[in-house]
Amino acid sequence: KNEVEQSPQNLTAQEGEFITINCSYSVGISALHWLQQHPGGGIVSLFMLSSGKKKHGRLIATINIQEKHSSLHITASHPRDSAVYICAVNSGNTPLVFGKGTRLSVIA
């Protein structure tokens, strides 16, 4: 079974800072997902990637398949970015396996 580790568990940043959240997994995957969860529970899919790099606005996700590692970067962070960021992976037809999440607080 794939093990997914995220770091850091908690992160506090000042508005405008560049933020990096890391995700490592133990077994080869077919896709890695970055998810965002705001207080109240709803989850938003930010990225789904299997190689390289994707960018959406101020968010960038990268993955290194050989090293079994992915990073989520937030540029010019803003208080509205405060949320829990969750990494999840799946292999073939297996269901998603989730990391414990990184709780981000961005202070104005």
In the complex, minimum distance from the CB of residue 53 to other proteins, in angstroms, rounded to a whole number? 17
End-to-end CA distance of the chain: 40
20 vs 37, beta carbon nearer other proteins: 37
The site for other proteins (CB under 8 A) is made up of 30-31, 33, 35, 40-45, 48, 86, 88, 90, 92-101
| Nearest of 4, 49, 31 to residue 91 by alpha carbon | 31
6 vs 77, beta carbon nearer other proteins: 6
The half-sphere exposure of 83 on its side-chain side, counting CA atoms within 13 A, is 19
Q: Could you tell me whether strands 10-14 and 43-49 are parallel, antiparallel, or unpaired per DSSP bridges?
A: unpaired
In the complex, minimum distance from the CB of residue 16 to other proteins, in angstroms, rounded to a whole number? 29
77 vs 83, beta carbon nearer other proteins: 83
In the complex, minimum distance from the CB of residue 92 to other proteins, in angstroms, rounded to a whole number? 8
59 vs 99, beta carbon nearer other proteins: 99
Distances (CA, A) of 47 to 22, 52, 85, 105: 14, 12, 11, 20
